[in-house]
Amino acid sequence: MRRPLRKPLPVLDPGFPDSRSPAHYLGWLWRRQWPTMVVGMSLGVIWMVAQALTPAAVGRAIDQGVRAHSTSGLLTWAGIFFALSAITAWANIMRHRFAVYNWLSAAYKTIQLTVTQANRIGATLPRRIATGEVVSIGNSDVSHIGGALDILLRGSGAVAAIIVVAVILLSASTQLGLVVLVGVPVMMSTVSLLIRPLHQRQAAYREQQGKLIGRAGDIVAGLRVLRGVGGESVFAEAYREQSQELRAAGVRVGRVDALLEAAQILLPGLFLALVTWLGARFTLSGEITPGQLVSFYGYAAFLVSPLRTIVEAADKITRGLVAARRLVRLLRMQPEIGDPAEALPAPLGALELRDPQSGVTACRLRYTALAAARPEDAAEIVDRLGRYADSDATANGVPLTGLARATVRELILVSDNDGRLFSGVLRAELDPRGTASDEQITAALTAASATEIVEALPDGLDTFVAERGREFSGGQQQRLRLARALLADAPALLLVEPTSAVDAHTEARIATRLGDFRAGRTTLVTTTSPLMLDRADNVLYVEDGKVIAEGTHRQLMHSEPRYRATVTRGED
C-alpha cells in the first residue's frame, strides 16, 4: 500500500502573484513556500557546515591523538569525524528531498498562474503575445524559475560553510583568514562581470526562441493550406532564416556561458592554490601545527564545492530572473474586456439578448437565425452579444457591461470555428466538466450528427484525440465542436456558421435536430444556409450592421429580394 503524499502538488490555490518585477515574483514564490524553503536552507547549512568541520576534526585527531600519542584523543576525534560524516549524509538526503519539492512547487505554481492568466485574458492573448512565448514559459522558463529557488538551499549552505572555514582559519592564522574573507568577494565580483552580458544575451535568445516556436506552430497548423497555394517553400525559407538567427544568438549565449563555466573552475582553483601555498609556508615557519596544515589541505579540497556553488547560484538566479521577466510580462497583461467596479446581479429566468446597435434580438426560448450580407457584421454582433466587445447589449434588460465576465460566460456561450479540440480522451473533450451522462453525450452527438464519427473510433468515447484533433477532417471537427457546445447546456448559445464545413445531407440533419435539442433555451445561429434558416423560429436579416428585415425564412424569401440574393448566392 502506497504511503499518501504529505504535501501533494500542485496546490489548489497558487495565490495572487507579485508581478511588479522579476525579483518581486521570485520573492513572492519564496514567501508562498517559506516553511519548506526555511527547512531546506537549514538542512543545506547543516550539510555544508558538517563538511566544513570535517577537516578540522582530522587535524585535531592528528595533533591530539597521533602527535600526543593519545589513544583516547584519537578515538574521540575519530568518533567526531564519523558523526560529522553521518550528519553530512543525512542532511544531504533531506536537503535534496526539500530541494525537489521546492523546485516542483515553484514550477507548478508558475504553470498554474500561466494557464489562469491565459484563460483570464482570453481572446486578447494571441493579439499581444506570440503563442511560442507562452509555450516557452511552460517548457523552459518554469525550469529556470524552479532552479532559482532550488539553488538557494545549497547556496545558503555554501555561504555558511565559507564563514565557518574563515573563522577556523582566522583562529589558526589571521593572515589565512583574511585571505579567505577578502578573496571570496573579489572572486565573486570578477565572476559577476560575466553575469550581466549573459543575462542580456539570454533574454534576447529567449525572445527569438518564442517567436520561432510560434512561427513553427503556425506553419504546421496551416501546412495543408500552404501546400495548396504553393507557399510552402516561401514559409520554409523564412523559417530557415529565422532559425539561423536563433542559432547565432544561441552561440553568443554559449560563448559567455562557456567563459562562466571556465571561471567557476579557474578562479576557485587559483584561490585554493594560494591558500595551500600560504598554509605550507606557515607550517614550515612553525606558525601552525602539522594537524592544522592537514586541515588546510582538506579545506583546499573542500572549498571548491561551496565556491562553485556560489558561482552556480549567481548563474541560476540570473537565469531565473530572465525567465521570470517573460512571465511577469504575461501576468501584468489586462484583458480588453474588464469587470465592472460593482457587478450587477445575474438576470433571472430565460434570457433575451438585445444588441441596440444592430437591432438584433435573440428571443427567449426560441431558435433565432441571423443572416448577414457581410459575414463580418454577423461576427461583430455575436462579439457584442457574447461580451467579447464592449457595447450596449443587454440580457433581460441588464447591461452586459454591468455583469462580471464570469457571470456572462456562465449565461452565454459563443461557439465559433476558431475553437480547437485539445489532445486527450474524447469524452473529456466533449464534456470538460465531467458531469454529463453517456445518454446526454449521445443526445448531443446525435443533434450534431456526429454519432458515426465516434462509432468509427477504435475505443469510442474513450479514444485518445491527438493535438487539435488532427485525425478528424474539418467537417468532423466542426460537428464535434458543435456537440461540445450543446453539452455545455448554456442558457444562451450563440453559434457562428456551425455547418460551414459539412455536406448538405449532414447539414439537413443538424438543422432538423438543433431546434429540438435546444428547446426551452435561447439559441442564435449566424448562417446563410437555407437549410438552417428554414428551421429557425425567427430570421433576422442584417445589412450594413443593421436589421432591415425579420420573419421566417419562407416569408423573407418572398418579401425581401436582398435576403433572397444573399442566401441563394444571387441565384434564383
- The reply to whether 47 and 96 lie within a common domain is yes
**Is 3 within the bounds of a domain?**
no
- The reply to whether 326 and 393 lie within a common domain is no
Q: At 458, is the secondary structure helix, strand, or coil?
A: coil
Q: Please report the pLDDT score of residue 3 as a whole number.
A: 46
pLDDT level of residue 470 (50, 70, 90 thresholds): confident
Condensed to tens digits (0 to 9), the pLDDT of residues 100-147 reads 888 988 888 888 888 888 777 776 666 666 665 666 666 678 888 888
**Is 306 within the bounds of a domain?**
yes
The amino acid that residue 472 corresponds to is: F
Quick one: cell of 175? 593572515
Q: Please report the pLDDT score of residue 63 as a whole number.
A: 73
State how beta strands 492-496 and 522-526 pair. Answer: parallel
- The reply to whether 47 and 99 lie within a common domain is yes
- The reply to whether 287 and 359 lie within a common domain is no
Provide mean pLDDT across the span 209-233: 58
Provide mean pLDDT across the span 472-500: 91
The CATH number of residue 147's host domain is: 1.20.1560.10
Q: Is pTM beyond 0.85 here?
A: no
Condensed to tens digits (0 to 9), the pLDDT of residues 406-434 reads 899 899 999 988 777 777 888 988 988 88
**Is 394 within the bounds of a domain?**
yes
CB 110, CB 141: distance < 8 Å: yes
Rounded to the nearest 5 percent, the helix, strand and coil shares of the chain are 70, 10, 25
- The reply to whether 245 and 298 lie within a common domain is yes
- The reply to whether 112 and 208 lie within a common domain is yes
Our count of domains for the chain comes to 2
pLDDT level of residue 4 (50, 70, 90 thresholds): very low
- The reply to whether 56 and 127 lie within a common domain is yes
For residue 62, what are the CA distances in angstroms to 170, 174, 184, 286? 20, 22, 29, 16
Q: Is the pLDDT of residue 440 over 50?
A: yes
Rounded Cα gap, residues 307 and 301, in angstroms: 11
**Is 314 within the bounds of a domain?**
yes
- The reply to whether 84 and 220 lie within a common domain is yes
Range of the domain at 215: 22-331
Taking residue 341's Cβ as centre, other Cβ atoms within 10 Å add up to: 6
Taking residue 174's Cβ as centre, other Cβ atoms within 10 Å add up to: 11
Percent with pLDDT over 90 in the chain: 28
The CATH number of residue 408's host domain is: 3.40.50.300
Residues facing 22 on adjacent strands: none
> Whose CA is closest to 249, among 205, 290, 292, 304?
205
- The reply to whether 144 and 279 lie within a common domain is yes
Rounded Cα gap, residues 524 and 538, in angstroms: 10
Name the least confident of 188-202, 243-257, 368-382.
Answer: 188-202
> Whose CA is closest to 373, among 528, 219, 534, 223?
528
**Is 466 within the bounds of a domain?**
no
For residue 485, what are the CA distances in angstroms to 155, 221, 323? 52, 23, 37
**Is 8 within the bounds of a domain?**
no
> Whose CA is closest to 536, among 518, 519, 553?
553
Q: Which long-range contacts (CB under 8 A, 24 or more apart) does 53-58 make?
A: 53/84, 53/164, 54/81, 54/84, 54/85, 54/88, 54/298, 54/302, 55/294, 55/295, 55/296, 55/297, 55/298, 55/299, 55/302, 56/168, 56/295, 57/81, 57/84, 58/291, 58/294, 58/295, 58/298
Cis peptide bond upstream of 126, omega within 30: no
pLDDT level of residue 514 (50, 70, 90 thresholds): very high
Radius of gyration in angstroms for the set of CA atoms belonging to the chain, rounded to a whole number: 34
Residue 280 or 426, more confident: 426
Q: Mention every residue, 6+ apart, whose C-beta is less than 8 A from residue 216.
A: 132, 239
Residue 173 or 20, more confident: 20
**Is 14 within the bounds of a domain?**
no
- The reply to whether 223 and 100 lie within a common domain is yes
Torsion angle of the four alpha carbons 465, 468, 472, 478, in this order, in degrees rounded to the nearest 10: 120
Q: Is the pLDDT of residue 446 over 70?
A: yes
Residue 252 or 446, more confident: 446
- The reply to whether 490 and 538 lie within a common domain is yes
pLDDT level of residue 265 (50, 70, 90 thresholds): confident
Condensed to tens digits (0 to 9), the pLDDT of residues 78-92 reads 888 889 889 989 999
**Is 59 within the bounds of a domain?**
yes
Rounded Cα gap, residues 113 and 121, in angstroms: 12
- The reply to whether 318 and 360 lie within a common domain is no
Residue 376 or 314, more confident: 376
* Burial of 233 (C-beta count, 10 Å sphere; 0-12/13-18/19+): exposed
Q: Please report the pLDDT score of residue 538 as a whole number.
A: 94
